[in-house]
């Protein structure tokens, strides 16, 4: 136990990095996922096909391989994303490693967000879409004013699951140079080999707390959406 408690600052920092990875890629994946989902259910068949291909490719590729693309292969092509290091946000310097990890996580998670939203759209009653068309709305209008607000309700549970998965998936960044929670657990283990079980349980607890908060938040949202 004291392995973690005597290094509690490091423990918190590590989960801070995990949370930062989660927050940035969570937001980005929602945006990209929404764009993909709109393409996927829209009237332009080329875009439908493109979004479908994207989902097929990224859903069936392991996240680790996507990380290899971003962290190992992309720099070979000259994409190091080091230019972000000149950017300073509220005193924090964004690192290129962080950026690349977020891109990998976003690319992967967007495919699942897209599928989540699509299933939500499918769950909206036919009559609603028909009514929207009847009053003369275009595809984008009916999506924006009729379908998506209602899909929102059905979309919460699957999207919450996708985000929970993302929170856990940030651990893969540990293998590619990010000193987040999983990498830090490994480092603690090297220094305190006799306390492996306790160290593991404490780090697991950190993830459980994050996962429970997302889950709780989604339940709250769902409840509110139901009342409205």
Partner 1 sequence: MRRMKLGMAAVAVLLAGSLTACGEAGDDDNEGVDVDVKEDAAEDFDEGTRMRELAEEGKVTIGVKFDQPGLGFKGATDDAPSGFDVEMGKILAADLGIDPENIEWKETISDNREPFLEAGEVDLVLATYSITPERRAVVGQAGPYYVTGQQLLVRADSDIDSLDDIRGTEVCSVTGSTSLENIKAEGATPRGFDTYSECVSQVLDGAVDAMTTDGAILLGYAAEQPDDLKVVVEPFSEERYGVGYSLDHPEMCEWINETIEESFENGQWEEAFNLTLGEAGVETPEQPELDPCPAS
Partner 2 sequence: MAGSVLFDAPGPRTIARHRIYSVLSVLALAGLAALVVLKLEEKGQFEYALWEPFLTPEYIEALLVDGLLNTLLMAFGAILGAVVFGVLFGVGKLSDHPWVRWPCWLVVEFWRAVPVLLSMIFWWMLLSLGDGPLSPLQCVIIALTLYNGAVLAEAFRAGILAVPVGQVEAAYALGMRKTQVMTTIQLPQAVKIMLPVLVSQCIVALKDTSLGYAIGAPGLTYIGEQIYIEFRVNQVPTAIVLAAAYIAVNLLLTLLANWLQKRYVGEKKVLEVPMVGEAHVTQRT
Q: Residues interacting with partner 2, by CB under 8 A?
A: 41-48, 50, 56-57, 59-66, 68-69, 72-73, 76-78, 118, 121-122, 126, 129-130, 133, 138-139, 142-143, 147, 157-158, 160-162, 164-165, 168-172, 174-175, 181-182, 185-186, 189, 193, 196-197, 200, 203-204, 207-208, 211-212, 215, 218-219
The least CB distance from residue 223 to partner 2, in Å, is: 11
144 is a site residue for partner 1 (CB under 8 A): no
Q: Is 94 in the site for partner 1 (CB under 8 A)?
A: no
Between 24 and 104, CB nearer to partner 2: 104
The answer to whether the CB of 108 falls within 8 A of the CB of 172 is no
Query: Taking the alpha carbons of 200, 203, 206, 207 in that order, is the dihedral positive or negative?
Result: negative
Spatial contact of 38 and 138, defined as CB atoms under 8 Å apart: no
State the DSSP H helix or E strand holding residue 93, giving kind and residue range, or none if neither.
strand 92-93
In the set 9, 88, 90, 190, which binds partner 1 (CB under 8 A)? 190
CB of 80 to partner 1, least distance (A): 5
The overall longest dimension of the chain from CA atoms, in Å, is 70
Q: What is the rounded distance in angstroms from the CA atom of residue 52 to the CA atom of residue 115?
A: 10
Is 82 an interacting residue with respect to partner 1 (CB under 8 A)?
A: yes
Strands 88-89 and 92-93, bridge-based pairing: antiparallel
Residue 179 contact, options partner 2, partner 1, none, Cβ 5-8 Å cut-off depending on partner type? partner 1
Which partner from the list partner 1, partner 2, none does 90 bind, CB cut-off 5 to 8 Å by kind? none
Q: Which does 143 bind (CB under 5 to 8 A by kind): partner 2, partner 1, none?
A: partner 2
Distance CA 164, CA 15 (A): 15
Question: Residue 91 or 136: which CB sits closer to partner 2?
Answer: 136
**Binding residue (CB under 8 A) for partner 1 from 7, 61, 95, 128:** 95
Q: What is the C-alpha to C-alpha distance for residues 225 and 156, in angstroms, rounded to an integer? A: 9
18: tokens are 């995990």
CB of 43 closer than 8 Å to CB of 140: no
Number of CB atoms found within 10 A of residue 138's CB: 11
The residue range among 15-23, 92-100, 144-152, 220-228 that interacts with partner 1, by the rule CB under 8 A, is 92-100
């Amino acid at each position: 136990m004291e392995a973690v408690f005597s290094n509690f600052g490091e423990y918190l920092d590590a989960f801070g990095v995990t949370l930062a990875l989660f927050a940035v890629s969570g937001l980005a994946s929602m945006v990209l996922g929404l764009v993909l989902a709109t393409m996927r259910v829209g009237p332009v068949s080329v875009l439908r096909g493109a979004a479908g291909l994207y989902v097929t490719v990224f859903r069936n590729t392991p996240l680790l391989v996507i990380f290899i693309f971003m962290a190992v292969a992309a720099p070979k092509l000259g994409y190091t994303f080091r230019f972000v290091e000149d950017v300073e946000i509220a005193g924090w310097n964004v690192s290129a490693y962080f950026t690349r990890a977020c891109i990998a996580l976003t690319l992967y998670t967007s495919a699942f967000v897209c599928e989540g939203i699509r299933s939500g759209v499918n769950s909206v009653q036919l009559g609603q879409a028909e009514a929207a068309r009847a009053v003369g709305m275009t595809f984008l209008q009916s999506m924006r004013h009729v379908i998506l607000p209602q899909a929102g309700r059905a979309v919460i549970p699957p999207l919450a699951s996708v985000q929970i998965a993302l929170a856990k998936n940030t651990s893969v960044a540990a293998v590619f140079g990010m000193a987040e929670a999983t990498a830090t657990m490994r480092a603690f283990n090297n220094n305190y080999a006799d306390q492996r079980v306790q160290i593991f349980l404490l780090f697991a607890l950190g993830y459980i707390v994050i996962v429970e908060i997302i889950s709780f938040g989604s339940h709250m949202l769902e409840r509110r959406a139901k009342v409205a």
